[in-house]
Amino acid sequence: MVENIPCTDLEQHSCIQENASVPRLIDRILAKSEAVLTSNGAVLATTGKYTGRSPKDKFIVRDAVSEEKVDWGPVNQPIDEEVFEKLYNKTMSYLKNQDEIYRFKGFAGADETSRLPIQVVSEYAWHSLFARQLFIAPTKDELTRHKAEFTVLSAPGCKADPVTDGTNSETFIIVSFKKRVILIGGTEYAGEIKKSIFSVMNYLLPERNIMSMHCSANVGDEGDVALFFGLSGTGKTTLSADPYRKLIGDDEHGWSDKGIFNIEGGCYAKCVDLSKEKEPQIYDAIRFGSVLENVILDENDNPDYSNTFLTENTRAAYPIEHMDNTMVPSVAGHPNTIIFLTADASGTLPPISKLSNEQAMYHFLSGYTSKLAGTERGVTEPQATFSACFGSPFLPLSPSVYAEMLGKKIEEHSVNVFLINTGWTGGTYGKGGERIKLSYTRAMVYAALQGELNEVETVLDEIFGLEIPRHVPGVPEDLLVPVNTWDNIADYQEQAEELALKFHRNFEKFTEASTAIKQAGPLYRKTIS
């Protein structure tokens, strides 16, 4: 049987590299031809056919520990203990037969009172570099006392046989909360390592009355904290990288009774169309020690971020210290402002709207966006999706657990909440619509964070019931009201009503929500068939 703290038998491996330095890992990466070095010093790896997460291949072991707690369903797929044991043994046997393996010991969680000691054992040196840059590295003293409470075994070359192993494909991502082990096999996409640990934290932190969140965070000179919720591709990393505010973290945070803390020690940025002009902080952070995934190089070994030959989900992983303006340690006080980000491909949601507390809970539970190409296997163009709490793929517990915690904190700390659409305007994706300019979105974010929109005059969106500011400095007023940007009002009306009905259909499953929250959705309520 698997022990609670596994991998003791790997200690006898003839060549296990533990917490190797960045130069040492890069040396091994190049020596083993796992990746190449770009002109800016970053390591560039390609991940084969899996260039995004594989949600249909992710499972949680159903056992005495998880049975009554996990929100079972299409997201949290159950798998038997016997299947896990078999794949664990298969994975361990595979790793022990490798000439060289790598182990990173570190932490998830910048708050020392609630952090999780973890270890990532990997087949690839570049995966170990990824883990080193994305999680929190221990000091020398901490390393001598480190005892992992959760283990990731990453073995891309270990492939499952669906017929005999009980999986859906050759790929498997399996979490056992009883054994405190994560198995990853059959995929080279490093994001599975990061998101698996996040899922674990989303299970463990609420037990300690700590809100776990899929969001980025930054803080101003006056200590004012902002959170940016949103799925991949909506702008969390980009918008939280602000030269005038210190970055706390770009993707995963906890909110305790003391304030905010980063779960990670690095950033995992989408870098499609990245440029120094538009996103200088992120652009300059990609240097020696960083990991690029699936980026194409030009003839001079320069990353060509506009080339999406392999995928639109090109990525850059780098330690938070590569950013010029960061909060060290990555902890801060309670938020003053929360921004929900969505990339609406229908072109009908307002670029910005101020939410009441009930609307905040409605849109948090809805978690609407248009899933962008490449973020998951098989997604080739934007698809309307509702991801509860803006992070459903990573939530082992019922969304109501997280929503209830957030609602209490918003009320307790009088937090202002805004919904910002970073998607399309003037038409739908591919049919006359244009992506809202980043400069306009930044102006909206700035106005929200500065309190300039708290008392501004608003106009009611008659379909979505949202309060739209009539004026935002630096943003054309016609852009603020979506119908004004469309050439054909009837087309706008059709698309907006269709999206409103999708909101209503999706929210039907939240039967435990209060009447006030249920009524905080779109005003358009045509009979739903």
Q: pLDDT by residue (tens digit) across 499-519?
A: 999 999 999 999 999 999 999
Of 236, 253, 334, 354, the catalytic one is: 236
Which residues, including other chains, have CB under 8 Å from residue 130's CB and lie 6 or more apart?
190, 193, 194, 291, 317
| CB 514 within 8 Å of CB 359 | no
Strand ranges inside 187-272, DSSP E: 211-219, 225-229, 246-249, 252-255, 260-262, 266-270
Of 232, 290, 326, 441, the catalytic one is: 232
Of 13, 132, 194, 315, the catalytic one is: 315
Of 127, 214, 253, 377, the catalytic one is: 214
Phi then psi dihedrals of residue 480, to 5 deg: -70, -30
- Write down the pLDDT at residue 211: 98
**195 is known as an active-site residue:** yes
Of 111, 250, 251, 344, the catalytic one is: 251
For the chain of 529 residues, list the mean pLDDT of each consecutive stretch of 10: 48 81 98 97 97 96 98 97 97 95 98 97 98 97 97 98 96 98 98 98 97 97 96 89 95 97 96 95 97 97 96 96 94 98 96 97 96 59 87 96 96 98 95 95 98 94 97 97 96 96 96 95 78
**62 is known as an active-site residue:** no
For residue 329, whether the previous peptide bond is cis, meaning omega lies within 30 degrees of 0, is yes
Give this prediction's pTM: 0.93
Tell me the C-alpha distance between 34 and 11, whole Å: 24
- Write down the pLDDT at residue 232: 79
Structure token pair of residue 264: 């990670």
- Write down the pLDDT at residue 383: 81
**431 is known as an active-site residue:** no
**53 is known as an active-site residue:** yes
Enter the DSSP assignment of 339.
E
Of 38, 199, 237, 314, the catalytic one is: 237
Tell me the C-alpha distance between 503 and 521, whole Å: 7
Structure token pair of residue 337: 């402002």
- Write down the pLDDT at residue 15: 84
For each of the domains in the chain, give its residue range(s) and CATH number, in order of start: 8-33+57-208 (3.40.449.10), 268-322 (2.170.8.10), 334-518 (3.90.228.20)
